[in-house]
Structure 1
C-alpha cells in the first residue's frame, strides 16, 4: 500500500512540475520525438508527436564554452561510459589521469547521449555532482541529474531532431485564460530579446481575450529577468491552472504555438555503444562528494523504451573508440 501511495505521489509531482514549467515559443515536429533545449531557461523539453511529454532541468555551456545553438540530431548512447579526458582538461587537472572509468567519480554519470556531429564534442549526460544542475557552467555539453539522464536515454530514439534555442522570454496561457510571462538572463550576451514582438503579442492577446494588462508589470518583468513566471492578468498569489500553452509571441501573434507539420519519421535503429565505451568530451569534474542519485547501470538492465515500437529496431554498435570525440 505504501508503495502505491508513493508512486501516485511521484506521478502527481511530475505532472505538477510539467504543468508549471514555462514553455518556449518553438514549433516541434508534429510526428516523432523532438528535443528542445532553451539555453537561458536551462531546461530540456521532450516532445512526442508535437506534444510536450517531459521537462528536465539541465546545465549548459558557460559563456566561454557555449553549447552550440542550432539544429542537431540525437546520436549513439553509451551506458556506463569511460571518460577519456581531453588534453586541455588534463592540463587543468594536473593529476596525471587520462581516463576515468564508470562509477561514482565519472563526470559523465551513468550514460552519455551524443548530440550532433561528433566533431562538435556535444552530448547529453549525467553527472557526479547533481547539485550543479541546473546552471550555466559546463564545457559545452548538456548536463542532467543522473536519474533524469537515464530516463531520457531510455526514452529518446537515436536519429531524433534536437534543437538548441536561445529564447530569453516565454509567454504562456493557462486553462483559466490567464496570461503568464517569464524573462531570463542573457548568459551568452546574445541581446536577442525582441521586446517589440513580445509587447505586440501581449497586446493582441489581451484584446482578443478582453483582458487588461498593466504595461508597468510587463516592464518590471523584462527588467528584472528573474526567470520566475508571473501572471499578467490575475492577482498576486493566483496559481497556474492546468497545463500551460505557449503563445507564438516571436511572430507577434496572440495565437498558441503550433507543431511543425512534418512527414512521418523514417524507421531508425537505436544506436547503443558497448558499456564502458570511451567518450572524449570536455566534461567538468567537480571536486565534490558524489550525491546519492549517482549510480552505475548494469548492462543487463538497460532496456531502451521506444516511443514508436513499430518503427524501431535496435542494434549494438561495435565502433572503435577512436571514432568518438
Structure 2
C-alpha cells in the first residue's frame, strides 16, 4: 500500500512537455490517426497522433475489486456537462439511511463524471474516460472501472480525441525506453490486480538488446533490483557512474524477436458506439461507480471558461 501511494505521488508531479520524463509503453501504435493507450499499473493515459506522442495524463483506474478491463476498444459518444445516473447500489444505501430518493446528479461539484464523459467500448459496459468530483483521487486505483482525469485534462482530452479512435488498455508492468543519448531506461510497476504479468527475463532481454544496439552495457545488478523493487521510478541501467538524468525525450524500444513481447490484448476490437447521447441524457457507469462519494447539494458550475469555442465546435452539444 505504501509503495503504491509513493508511486501515485511521483506520477502526480510529472507534467507533459517537450521533454517528457515518463516511460512510454512498449506496444504497437497506429501510424495513422489518433490512438489512446492506457497502462493500468503505470496510472497513465497516452494519446498518439499519426504514430507520435501528442498528450499524456495521470489517471485513476479501477480498484482491485472493480478492475478496469484490459483490451481493445474504440472511442464512442461524448457528453459535455453530463448528468450521472445514480447506480442501484447507492440508491439502496440511501434508502436504508432514510435519505431522499436520488436517481441522478446534474452538472455540479457533486457530479462524479466532472464536466465531460467520453465513452469507450460497448455502451453496455458503461465504461468511460471522464472528469471527477474528487481531483485528489488522480492518480490512484480508486474507480469502479472507469478512467478518471482531472477536469482540465478531461476537457482537453475530449476536445482532442475523435470518436472512432482506437483505445488500447494495457497491463504492462515492465517498460524499456531509450533517451536522446541512447541510454537505456527501465521502470517496473506493482501488480495492483495480481495478474502476475511481469516477465523479468523478457524485460532483461529487451534492455540488453537495446543497449547492444547503441554500444552500451547494462548494469545487470541494478536492472535486477529495479525489476524486484517495482517502485515505478525511472532507472538508467546504462548510465554508469555518471549523471542519471533523462536526455531529450524517452522513446519506447521497438519490438524484436528476442525482446519482451509487445502488449497485444487478445480481446477483439470493440467497434465504436453508434449511440448519440441526447441533451440531458443521464450517463450510466458500472454499478457502484463512485460510491465513495457523498451526494452534496447541487450548485451550478459553468465550464465554458475552460472551453475554447472560438476555434472548436460548440462543446455544449452532445455526440
What's the counterpart of residue 4 of structure 2? Answer: none
Q: CA offset at residue 249 of structure 1?
A: 5.7
Q: CA offset at residue 238 of structure 1?
A: 2.3
Contact 1:272 1:316 in 2 (8 A): no
Q: Distance in 2 between matches of 1:51 and 1:148?
A: 19
Aligned residues, how many? 284
What's the counterpart of residue 91 of structure 2? Answer: 90
Gap change, CA 1:271 and 1:31, over 3 Å in 2: farther
Q: Distance in 2 between matches of 1:91 and 1:269?
A: 30
Counterparts of residues 197-276 of structure 1 (less than 5 Å) = 197-234=202-239, 235=241, 237-248=243-254, 251-253=257-259, 273-276=277-280
Q: CA offset at residue 209 of structure 1?
A: 2.3
Contact 2:131 2:148 in 1 (8 A): yes
Any stretches of 5+ residues in structure 1 without a counterpart?
1-12, 258-267, 307-311, 319-325
TM-score, normalised to structure 1, is: 0.78
Q: CA offset at residue 105 of structure 1?
A: 1.1
Q: Distance in 1 between matches of 2:29 and 2:85?
A: 34
Q: CA offset at residue 38 of structure 1?
A: 0.4
Q: Distance in 1 between matches of 2:280 and 2:153?
A: 20
Q: Distance in 2 between matches of 1:215 and 1:316?
A: 55
SS in 1 for 2:102: coil
Determine if the alignment matches structure 1 residue 113 to structure 2 residue 83: no
Q: Distance in 2 between matches of 1:177 and 1:53?
A: 22
Can you list the C-alpha shifts for 1:187-206, whole angstroms capped at 9, x where unaligned?
11111112222111222222
Of Structure 1 and Structure 2, the greater helix share is in 1
Determine if the alignment matches structure 1 residue 191 to structure 2 residue 196: yes
What's the counterpart of residue 152 of structure 2? Answer: 147
Which sits farther off after the overlay, 18-27 or 39-48?
18-27
What's the counterpart of residue 106 of structure 2? Answer: 101
Q: CA offset at residue 208 of structure 1?
A: 2.5
Which sits farther off after the overlay, 276-285 or 225-234?
276-285
Counterparts of residues 27-106 of structure 1 (less than 5 Å) = 27-94=28-95, 95=99, 96-106=101-111
Q: CA offset at residue 93 of structure 1?
A: 4.8
SS in 1 for 2:17: helix
TM-score, normalised to structure 2, is: 0.80
Contact 1:170 1:183 in 2 (8 A): yes
What's the counterpart of residue 138 of structure 1? Answer: 143
Gap change, CA 1:149 and 1:83, over 3 Å in 2: same
What's the counterpart of residue 268 of structure 2? Answer: none
Contact 1:80 1:296 in 2 (8 A): no
What's the counterpart of residue 279 of structure 1? Answer: 283
What's the counterpart of residue 128 of structure 2? Answer: 123
SS in 1 for 2:42: coil
Contact 1:183 1:227 in 2 (8 A): yes
What's the counterpart of residue 15 of structure 1? Answer: 17
What's the counterpart of residue 163 of structure 1? Answer: 168
Q: CA offset at residue 15 of structure 1?
A: 1.2
Q: CA offset at residue 286 of structure 1?
A: 4.5
Any stretches of 5+ residues in structure 2 without a counterpart?
1-14, 263-271
Q: Distance in 2 between matches of 1:276 and 1:35?
A: 27
